[in-house]
Chains A and B, each alone.
Chain A
Amino acid sequence: MTDHLTKANINLFAILRNLEDLCAMEDETKLIVKDCNISIQFIVKNGPEAFLILKDGKCALQKGRKRCKIKLYFKNPEHLNKMFDGKANPILLKGFTKLGFLKKEFPKLVEKLTYYLKPTDQLLKDPKYLEINTYLTMFTAFNAMVQIANHDRLGKLNSSRIPDGVVAISILGGGPSIFITSKSGCLEVNNETDKPIRAYMSFANTNIANAILNNKVDTYSAIGGGELEIRGCIPMIDNLNKLLSQVPAYVR
């Protein structure tokens, strides 16, 4: 069972957040944002707040409020979620002269994101596509997991059982790493950490990471086959996996 608030947090901080990486990794997306100088504030009544900045060819999404050129308002988390499903429009509070961006560049970015988040077997044969899809899927999954841990009723139960510490999740052989910090049942995700690592979850390579994250291979078989290694404080990973199993209900 899913709830709108958790989904709204996932839409912003797991799905939309991917634009940060896509703008850095993908050539056509880089071209779209090359000359952009725009900031968008998302305000969700009784829900999350975030702002997206596109400047100097880079993209950054952060929590909270900042003075922005465009301000989008949503009546409630469900309204935001409907927008992400393409079934509703936001209420524009500010940025009436910036509608061009919202009608031209922004939809192209969303289209790029959708393209890279919905793989087909054919697309995955392209190594560059595989790399980007794996990266974005990994970050979507773990960022969504953190939102579930912090907002979803069952997610909070599962995260309350995670011992304190940092889990490092990596794709070996030069792939990306992501760090999940657990403290008193609250989770945070970061791209780097200076704290000691208490547990490791390591995918042998990009191919296996992609297969597992796209639910083509189950984690238990991958562990037995040596393609996914878990070590350290395994209760942390065990409970993270229970949170991960909740992600598909929110992210299809």
Chain B
Amino acid sequence: MITIVNYGMGNLGSILNMFKRIGVQACVTSELASIQSAEKILLPGVGAFDAAMERINSSGLRQVLEHKAMVERVPVLGICLGMQLLTRGSEEGTLSGLGWIDADTRRFPAQKGIKVPHMGWNIALPSNQSLLIRNLPEEPRFYFVHSYYVTVDDPAHSIMRTTHGVSFDSAVQNGNIYGAQFHPEKSHKFGMQLLKNFAEV
């Protein structure tokens, strides 16, 4: 069972739909008690960094999530903004992130011919082996929508990289902590395989 954390940021219907399609049990919740008993956690997110951190900090969610991730070490997957929250912080805001991965979130620099947000389908190439990205169909491509990108300190924590003006870490892993910058729930068979992999880690 995968517990999708509803902290009021983002589009949860389509994540549930995809889990349903691949036959994986998942539930959406904002109850601390259900998150405390979660076996696997998915941290979604669309919106602004500080708004998300404020909600996580003020709702008591932060302590619960930290215990699950850092003490119990259950697998956690952050998607899009959810992945950026795993970093130390973002140029988008002033609050600190969860800091579960030594990484920063930066704004795409202004460059001619490079539109921000980075919106659309792009290629993500494996940079390290990870259970999260095994058996992906050939030429993996995913749907992205973001104006900020993640860059890890230790290249070993990068599992996929993508280029949009700059080259950045489009999927990351640090032990039980996983992140994907793109939207697997909107990425056809590529996303289905990735979510299936997360269900099986």
Co-complex (A, B): no
